[in-house]
A and B are shown apart, each in its own frame.
Chain A
Amino acid sequence: MLIRVQELSKSFRKLEVLKNVSVSFEANQCVAIIGPNGSGKTTFIKSVLGMVIPDSGEIIVSDKNIKNNFHYREAIGYMPQIGRYPENTTMGQLFSMIKDIRKHNGVSLDEELIESFHLPALYNKRMRTLSGGTRQKVSAALSFLFNPEILILDEPTAGLDPLSAEILKDKIQQERKKNKLILITSHIMNDLDELSSHVMYMLEGNLMFFKTMEELKAETGEERLGKAMAKLMKQQTN
C-alpha cells in the first residue's frame, strides 16, 4: 500500500474541513478526487504533502508515518494548481535549482515532458515573463522529473491549451502503466473519465465513497463519469 490515511480530521477554527477520512491507495491506481468547491479535496492533498498538519489521524506513505518527517516526499511529485516561481530566475535556473536541492541519487531523471512541451527553447526566459499556461507546463514537468512513485496533480489541465493537455494526459496514462499511483483533482469530468481507475468522492469533509470506475458505472448504469456523478449527487440530495 502506497498511501494509507486513517481517521484523518482537520478543522480551521470552527470549520470542520475533514471529518474522519480513512482511505488507502495502491500502486497502479489513478484516483480521481471529486467533490464540490470547499469539500476538502485540497486540504486532503495538502495533508498528504505535509503542508496541512492534521488535528488527528495518521497518514502513512510508503510505510512511513509522515508526522515530523520530510524524507517521504522523495516518493512524491506534486503539481500545484497555481505555480508561481522566483520572478527573476530563468526557467533553466529553476530546473537546475530543483534538481540541485532534491537529491536524486541513482534515480534517472524523466525529462520527457520538458522535451514534449518544448521548454528548453525558453530556458533563458525569466519566470516573471512567462504566461500562466507556460508556468503550468513547468509545474507539470517538475512533478514528473524525478520519476516519483506517487504523483499528486491538482487541476493539471486547467490552464493548458488543448494540445498540451493531451500531451500531459498521455504522459499520465503512460506513468500509470509503470505501476505508479496517481491522484488527480479536477472539475473536468471528461479528463477524469479517460484517465482514472478509481473515484474518491468528497462532500463537506466526508469521504462519501471510494470505488473503481467500473463499480461506479455499473451501479448507476451510466456510461460516462459525468453522468454517473450527476446521478449520484441527485440521489444524495433527495
Chain B
Amino acid sequence: MKLVKYIFFDLVRSRFVFFYFLLLLLFTGTFILLQDDVSKVQLSLLNIIILVVPLVSVIFATIHWYNSAEFIEVLLAQPVSRKRIFISEFVALSLAVGGAFILATGIPLLIFYPDAVSLLLMVGGFFLTIIFIALAFWSAVFTRDKAKGIGLSLVLWLYFSLIYDGLVLMLMFNFSDYPIDKIVVVLLSLNPVDVSRVMVLMKMEMSAMLGYSGAVFTDFLGSSVGLIYSIVLLIIWSIVPFFWALRKFSKKDL
C-alpha cells in the first residue's frame, strides 16, 4: 500500500483538508467551551456532524476523483492493477478526511467527555465519512462529466440528509392508522445518516430527540441489539457503493 501513503500525504497538505479540520475544530471548541451540559454539547455536535461530515466528504471526494483523472491515467500506464489504484484512492481519502474529523472532533470530545456517547459520535462520524466517499466515487465513476458528477453527489447528500426524512415523515403521517412500525425501521435502515443519528441518540437515552422513527427503532430492537444492528448497517452502507463503483471502474473506458 505504498500508493496510499503518497496519495494520503498529498491530501493532507491540501488547503481543503486543512480548512475542514479548522472548521470542525471551531465547532467542537465553541460547543465544549460555551455549554457546560454534556448532553447538550454532544447533541449540538451530532446535529453538525450528520450535516457537515457527509457534505464535505461527498463533495471533496468527487472533486478529488475528477481532478485525479489524468494522474490515474499515468498510474494506469504503470504495471499496476485498476483495483489497487481504486482501493488506494479510497483508503487515502478516508484516512485524510476521516483523520481530520477524528483529530478535530473525536479526540477533543473524548478528552473532555470520555463516555460511550462521545465514542459513538466518533464512530458514526467516521462511518459517514467513508460512506459518503464511497457514494462520491460511485457518482464520479458513473458520470463522465465533472459538473454532472458533482451535481449527482450533491443530490445524494440532499436526499439522505433532508429529503428522505421528509418522505418518511409524510408516509408516517398519512398511514398513522396502520401498523407501520416495521416498515419505518426498514426505511430508517435504508438511510445511513438516520442510522448514525439513531445509533448515537439511543445511547443518549433522549427519547424525545429520537422522533417517532427512532423510538420505534429502539422499541423494536432494544438498545444493545440496536447498536450492533446499526454498526452492521453502516458497514454494509460502506461496502455496497464501494464495490459497485469498483466493479464499474474495473471495466470502464478512461
Q: Which of B7, B10, B71, B254 contacts A51 (CB 8 A)?
A: B254
Q: Which of A50, A73, A74, A88 contacts B10 (CB 8 A)?
A: A88
State whether B9 touches A102 (Cβ < 8 A). no
- Restricting to B7-21, which residues have a CB under 8 Å from any CB of A? 7, 9-11, 13-14
State whether A70 touches B79 (Cβ < 8 A). yes
Query: CA A78 – CA B11 in complex, angstroms?
Result: 25
Q: Which residues of B contact A (CB under 8 A)?
A: 2-3, 6-7, 9-11, 13-14, 67-71, 73-82, 251-254
Q: Which of A52, A102, A142 contacts B253 (CB 8 A)?
A: A52
When distances are taken between beta carbons in the complex, the residues of chain A under 8 Å from B78 are: 73, 98, 101-102
Given A89-B9, A100-B2, is A74 in contact with B79 using a C-beta cutoff of 8 Å?
yes
Q: Which of B10, B69, B70, B254 contacts A46 (CB 8 A)?
A: B254
Q: Which of B14, B74, B252 contacts A87 (CB 8 A)?
A: B14
The 8 closest A-B pairs by CB, nearest first: A78-B77, A84-B70, A88-B13, A86-B10, A73-B79, A97-B6, A74-B79, A51-B254
When distances are taken between beta carbons in the complex, the residues of chain B under 8 Å from A101 are: 2-3, 75, 78, 80
Q: Which residues of A contact B (CB under 8 A)?
A: 12, 46, 49-53, 70-74, 76-78, 80, 82-89, 93, 97-98, 100-103, 139, 142, 152
State whether A51 touches B76 (Cβ < 8 A). yes
State whether A86 touches B74 (Cβ < 8 A). no
A-B contact pairs, 19 of them (CB 8 A): A46-B253, A51-B77, A51-B254, A52-B254, A53-B251, A53-B253, A70-B79, A78-B77, A80-B70, A83-B70, A83-B74, A86-B10, A87-B14, A88-B14, A97-B2, A101-B75, A101-B80, A102-B79, A139-B74
Q: Which residue of A is nearest B78, CB measured?
A: A102
Q: 6 other contacts beyond A70-B80, A97-B2, A98-B78, with CB at 8 A cut-off?
A: A51-B77, A73-B80, A78-B77, A88-B10, A89-B10, A93-B6
When distances are taken between beta carbons in the complex, the residues of chain A under 8 Å from B10 are: 86-89
When distances are taken between beta carbons in the complex, the residues of chain B under 8 Å from A72 are: 79
* Chain B interface main SS type: helix
B11 to chain A, nearest CB (A): 8
State whether A73 touches B77 (Cβ < 8 A). yes
State whether A86 touches B70 (Cβ < 8 A). no
State whether A49 touches B6 (Cβ < 8 A). no
Given A12-B253, A51-B253, A74-B79, is A82 in contact with B70 using a C-beta cutoff of 8 Å?
yes
When distances are taken between beta carbons in the complex, the residues of chain B under 8 Å from A80 are: 70, 73-74, 77
Query: CA A116 – CA B63 in complex, angstroms?
Result: 35
When distances are taken between beta carbons in the complex, the residues of chain A under 8 Å from B6 are: 86, 89, 93, 97, 100
Query: CA A3 – CA B129 in complex, angstroms?
Result: 44
Query: CA A50 – CA B3 in complex, angstroms?
Result: 20
B75 to chain A, nearest CB (A): 8
Query: CA A87 – CA B16 in complex, angstroms?
Result: 12
Query: CA A152 – CA B76 in complex, angstroms?
Result: 13
When distances are taken between beta carbons in the complex, the residues of chain B under 8 Å from A49 are: 76-77
Q: Which residue of A is nearest B6, CB measured?
A: A97
When distances are taken between beta carbons in the complex, the residues of chain A under 8 Å from B70 are: 80, 82-85
When distances are taken between beta carbons in the complex, the residues of chain B under 8 Å from A139 are: 74
B252 to chain A, nearest CB (A): 8
Query: CA A72 – CA B79 in complex, angstroms?
Result: 7
Q: Which of A85, A88, A89, A100 contacts B74 (CB 8 A)?
A: A85
Query: CA A51 – CA B69 in complex, angstroms?
Result: 12
A77 to chain B, nearest CB (A): 8
Given A53-B251, A86-B10, is A76 in contact with B77 using a C-beta cutoff of 8 Å?
yes
Query: CA A49 – CA B254 in complex, angstroms?
Result: 11
B19 to chain A, nearest CB (A): 14
Q: Which residue of A is nearest B15, CB measured?
A: A88
Query: CA A85 – CA B72 in complex, angstroms?
Result: 9
State whether A142 touches B80 (Cβ < 8 A). no
